[in-house]
């Protein structure tokens, strides 16, 4: 999937159908002189329905089409005939989509299962025909109910990527390279900051034909929780990851400090993210000799309170050990 086709935030206007009017009709038939009221009910207006679709990965469908209008219910007619219901409109979205009220920003619901349906704009009820209103003292009512108008809403669709493992790190930490080595994904890789502008997903093949999903999130910088860089915009994708893999390059000035900065940004964005399982991978470790690596281990054992290991995507060093550690953590 190209970056331009990955759309994870869209605004839309939805409008449900009006209910049909009830009928005012008096029965007329040969040899039946006083048939009485027989006006039928109006049909229900069409709903606008959000539906989960596991085959979708992006909201690109709604990048250009912004208005969705359901059909109106038909009016009732004679012989107590009910009008047809208005046509429902379905909006298929990827799993992990959060639907918000566009005016208040309130979360209305979220879609997490394939085929799950939620009504975002309910169609108006059809009006009742005049046969409902006949009584012993009012045997020929000449009135019926009008249909109830439909609803109109501004909504926001916000996709939060569903992945087992989320890659967290500063720009140029090697996240895209690691994703390309561990999966069949082909993210854009270049030697400058913010190469990754959109999250990338890949399926990691494990032993015995098992697999898990890994997501490369655009680089986080210090101050991301306040909106600096790209981090704030994409931090929401980390909320859905089961486990977080912090990637810190071996040539970093202070690995423990970088880890704490990243952790603090997550904490300030959403404190619940700190409860997720975490692993630290020291990337680009092919630049280290055994002696230097052992010295770093001594420091990391004192400063880090989470599992860590040294890897190199280019040299394929520690990749299988990383898969084993992630798999074990995901299945605990």
Binding-site residue positions: 169-176, 194-198, 216-219, 283-286, 312-314
- Of 94, 281, 55, 263, the C-alpha closest to 179 is 281
Point out which residues pair with 157 in neighbouring strands: 10, 99
Q: In 3D, which of 144, 148, 139, 142 has the Cα closest to residue 129?
A: 144
CA 224-226-228 angle, 5° bins = 50
Torsion angles phi and psi, residue 18, rounded to 5: -80, 150
What are the binding residues for Mg(2+)?
176, 196
Could you tell me how many residues make up the chain? Answer: 332
Tell me the binding residues for GTP: 169-176, 194-198, 216-219, 283-286, 312-314
CB atoms within 10 A of CB 64: 7
User: Which residues on neighbouring strands pair with residue 90, listed in sequence order?
Assistant: 49
CA distances from 44 to 40, 73, 200 (A): 13, 5, 43
In contact, 219 and 231? CB cutoff 8 Å: yes
Q: Which two tokens stand for residue 22?
A: 């009830």
């Amino acid at each position: 999937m190209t970056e331009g086709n990955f759309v994870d935030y869209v605004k839309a206007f939805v409008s449900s159908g009006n209910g049909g009017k009830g009928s005012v009709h008096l029965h007329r038939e040969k040899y039946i002189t006083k048939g009485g009221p027989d006006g039928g009910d109006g049909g229900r207006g069409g709903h606008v329905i959000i539906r989960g679709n596991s085959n979708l990965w992006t909201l690109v469908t709604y990048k250009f089409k912004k208005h969705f209008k359901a059909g109106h219910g038909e009016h009732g007619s004679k012989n107590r005939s009910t009008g047809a219901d208005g046509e429902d409109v379905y909006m298929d979205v990827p799993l992990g989509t959060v639907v918000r009220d566009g005016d208040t920003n309130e979360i209305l619901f979220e879609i997490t299962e394939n085929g799950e349906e939620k009504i975002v704009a309910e169609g108006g009820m059809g009006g009742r025909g005049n046969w409902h209103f006949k009584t012993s003292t009012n045997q020929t009512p000449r009135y019926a109910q009008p249909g109830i108008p439909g609803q109109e809403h501004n909504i926001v669709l916000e996709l939060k990527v569903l992945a087992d493992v989320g890659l967290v790190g500063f720009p140029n930490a090697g996240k895209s390279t690691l994703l390309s080595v561990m999966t069949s994904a082909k993210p854009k890789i270049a030697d400058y900051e913010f190469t990754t502008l959109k999250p990338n997903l890949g399926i990691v093949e494990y032993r015995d034909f098992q697999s898990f999903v890994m997501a490369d999130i655009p680089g986080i910088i210090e101050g991301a929780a306040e909106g600096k860089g790209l981090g704030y915009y994409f931090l929401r994708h980390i909320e859905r990851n089961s486990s977080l893999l912090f990637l810190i390059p071996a040539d970093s000035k202070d690995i423990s400090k970088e880890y704490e900065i990243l952790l603090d940004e997550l904490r300030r964005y959403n404190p619940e993210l700190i409860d997720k399982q975490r692993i630290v991978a020291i990337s680009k470790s092919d630049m280290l000799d055994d002696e230097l690596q052992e010295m770093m281990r001594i420091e990391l054992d004192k400063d880090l309170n989470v599992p860590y290991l040294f890897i190199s995507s280019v040299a394929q060093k520690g990749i299988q050990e990383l898969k084993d550690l992630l798999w074990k953590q995901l299945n605990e």
